[in-house]
Chain A
Amino acid sequence: DQQVKQNSPSLSVQEGRISILNCDYTNSMFDYFLWYKKYPAEGPTFLISISSIKDKNEDGRFTVFLNKSAKHLSLHIVPSQPGDSAVYFCAASASTGSYQLTFGKGTKLSVIP
Chain B
Amino acid sequence: ETGVTQSPTHLIKTRGQQVTLRCSSQSGHNTVSWYQQALGQGPQFIFQYYREEENGRGNFPPRFSGLQFPNYSSELNVNALELDDSALYLCASSFSSGGAYNEQFFGPGTRLTVL
Chain A interface residue number, banded? 20 to 34
Which residues of B pack against A, CB within 8 Å? Answer: 4, 33, 35, 40-45, 48, 50, 55-56, 58, 90, 92, 96, 100-109
The residue of chain B having its C-beta at the shortest distance from the C-beta of A43 within the complex is B106
* Cβ 8 A contact of A32, one of B50, B101, B108: B101
Which residues of A pack against B, CB within 8 Å? Answer: 4, 6, 32, 36, 41-46, 49, 89, 91, 93, 95, 97-106
User: Do A44 and B90 touch across chains, with their CB atoms under 8 A apart?
Assistant: yes
User: Do B106 and A41 touch across chains, with their CB atoms under 8 A apart?
Assistant: no
- Among A43, A45, A46, A106, the most chain B Cβ lie within 10 Å of the Cβ of A43
Number of A-B contacts (CB under 8 A): 58
Question: Which secondary structure characterizes the binding site on chain A?
Answer: loop
Instruction: Provide the bound-state CA to CA distance between A74 and B47, in Å.
Output: 28
User: Do B43 and A101 touch across chains, with their CB atoms under 8 A apart?
Assistant: yes
Complex interface: chain B residues within 8 A of A105 (CB): 40-42
CB distance from B39 to the nearest CB of A (A): 11
* Given contact pairs A45-B106, A89-B43, A101-B104, a sample of 10 additional A-B residue pairs in the complex whose CB atoms are under 8 Å apart: A36-B106, A41-B108, A43-B90, A43-B92, A43-B107, A97-B55, A98-B55, A99-B96, A103-B42, A104-B42
